[in-house]
Amino acid sequence: MARPVADSPGSSPASSPSAAPTLPMGAPLSAPLSAGRIWALVRDPAPGRLGQALRMAGACTVTVLVGEIWQVPDLGVPALVTMALWQKDRVTNVIAGVAVNLLVVVLLAVIYGLVRFTLDRPLAFVLSIAVLSFCFFFLGSASKLKPVAYMLGLIVVYGLVALEEVPIGELVTRALLYTDLFTLVPGTVMVVLGLLICPSPRRVLTDGIAARLRVSAGLLRGAGAREQAHAVGLLREGAAGMSKALRMAGLERLWRPEDLACLGQAASCAVAVLALAEADAGGGGGADGGEAPEELIALLERMADVFAAGAYPVGIGVPAVPSGRPALQAIAGLMPVFTTPEAAGARREEKKKGGGFFLADAFTNPDHVRFAVKGTAGVMCSYVLFRSLDWPGIHTCIITCFIVALPTMGEMISKLTLRIIGASVGGAIGILSIVFMMPHLQGITGFLVLIFVVSLLAAWIRIGDERIAYAGFQIGLAFYLSDLSSFGPTTDMETARDRVVGVLIGNFITYAMFTSFWPSSAYAGIGGCLDRVIARLRQLGGAATPQARADGMAALQSAVSDGERQVEYALAEPPHMRREMAHLGALQEALAEAARLGIGMIDGEVVDPARRIAALEGLIS
């Protein structure tokens, strides 16, 4: 039944996707985050999360070790870059590591010329910081370089600020070389360590398929609120992450194109099966109200085992299912084509528009320029503040401005609390470790163990749900900048205090800038999200084969997830902005109706989908 596609010897074993998370979903997905829901997201043992967190923490620790050996100053910055750019699979890590180093070399050549030109011209020096900040914020908003643009801006502008302290030609050259090490060390670690400890992208893909099949089997067997919550969260991811893994696997040139095509089809079918299983479980088991057939559940579990072993099943039969359960009948209908892609020429791929580096509206949408202006204003206010106060220890406020900038008011508000919590936790860990642990660390081993443990905590949250990822990054930011201010274990409390204060100042300055000038509401983007949802519904309605319907369902789930996230951000905005959102409730219900309609179009319960799609279009006309 299974066709093996053996992984390479360097790949890690598959993570078990059978653990059930504890995400409470009494409220809709688009409800604002509560303390209980945040805690549930922190504790959520999603498939592969622990393995990825361990690898990320290990990479950050190795970066610190290499930096200690080479005596790289401000070692917190390379560790932070590693945490920001570390990826799931080995191919993406190699590409990111090489690309970032090439970009930084080019930028440093430009910076060297700027420094030579502005060395004795303070006004020109400040203007160069402002211009570079604007360019990086604009690239982060209007190009495909996001979020790498913010990380590059952080390194370059921070390097310029550091260069201001060494106005001697030879020291300037040395400082530029150290600035290059800020990305050379993380980039090298990503390439070398990523190849050694990260799984292949094909393994990431098969693990993702296995996870969805196991969750589907659990739903059909009888799931509680926690399991259904996890199923909805996994469903809303669609197949985007698996599609990326499939593209990266193609770049490896290690796997047969025919095998990758089968796995790509399986990824879409796994999402469709999960959607149907969730609909059946949420609908109380259909008209007959009975339990799902054990034959179907056992088949899904066996298929999950095959995918988890790095293979894929072939020749899958049609299991017997009750006639009164349309969702189960649709699942059974997908089994024979689960790993059978459409014949060449039968698949109708959508042509992607705007394949260039910049977004289609990069130079016509004023929001991109406004975003860059607000981000630059935050950086310059932070620069002027710490220079005016003659308090160089809070220069971390500049770094923070690049990390926390977000386009809409709702995103800023919903994540500000998480940022403050993360910075406070990371800073508290850093200061407490300086007081109680650093004096007792005699060698590098204990110091690296401390770095690994705290990095693991930050990485666990960082790679969790997008709603809490910022808190994990802020924990790493505050801790690294506190405890990695010099070589080896430090006992300098003043530096740790100043850097944590700088992080908090940067958070508040950025919040003030982005919410006071040209505040952008997430409500304005919901209509565009619903447009994309309707386009996906039409794609689903025009699908002529089971494979095409599975592809359409996977695309629909990703589009619905984007819309629900926009609604969630809109609900987090201040009351005076929400009063202008006259149709927010209707748009929220339209997204839920679109998800239900997609299920009905697959299982055949919706007789006239065109009429219901037209009704959804009326909401945004």
pLDDT, tens digit (0-9, with 9 covering 90-100), for 334-360? 999 999 998 755 454 444 444 578 888
Exposed, middle or buried by CB within 10 Å (0-12, 13-18, 19+), for 36?
exposed
Q: 63 pLDDT exceeds 90?
A: yes
Q: Assign 620 a pLDDT band (cuts: 50, 70, 90).
A: low
User: In the structure, what pLDDT confidence band is assigned to residue 172 with cuts at 50, 70 and 90?
Assistant: low
Residue 3: the pLDDT is: 47
In the structure, what pLDDT confidence band is assigned to residue 166 with cuts at 50, 70 and 90? low
Whether 120 has a pLDDT exceeding 50, the answer reads yes
For residue 225, is pLDDT > 70? yes
**pLDDT classification of 203: cutoffs 50, 70, 90:** very high
136 within 8 A of 152, measured Cβ to Cβ: yes
pLDDT (average), residues 527-533: 91
pLDDT at 39: 79
User: At residue 19, does pLDDT exceed 80?
Assistant: no
Pairwise CA distance, residues 579 & 621, whole Å: 21
Identify the pLDDT of residue 373: 95
Confidence of residue 557 (pLDDT cuts 50, 70, 90): very high
Average pLDDT over residues 126-155: 87
For residue 9, pLDDT beyond 70: no
87: pLDDT confidence band, cut at 50, 70 and 90?
very high
pLDDT of residue 16: 34
Average pLDDT of the segment spanning 89-108: 88
Helices (H) and strands (E) in the chain, counts: 24, 2
Spatial CA neighbour of 178 closest among 190, 162, 154, 192 = 162
pTM across the whole model: 0.83
pLDDT at 33: 62
The percent of residues in the chain predicted with pLDDT above 70, rounded, is 87
Q: What is the pLDDT of residue 6?
A: 40
Is the pLDDT at 412 greater than 90, yes or no?
A: no
Q: Summarize the confidence of residues 380-397 as an average pLDDT.
A: 88
**Residue labelled with tokens 């196991």:** 214
Residue 30 has pLDDT above 50, yes or no: no
pLDDT > 60? residue 470 = yes
Taking residues 584-597, what's their average pLDDT?
88
- In angstroms, the first-to-last Cα distance of the chain is 50
Residues 539, 536: Cα–Cα separation, whole Å: 5
| Residue 485 pLDDT > 80 | no
Cβ atoms 38, 415 nearer than 8 A: no
How far is residue 519's CA from residue 255's CA, in Å, rounded to a whole number? 48
**Cis peptide leading into residue 147 (ω within 30°):** yes
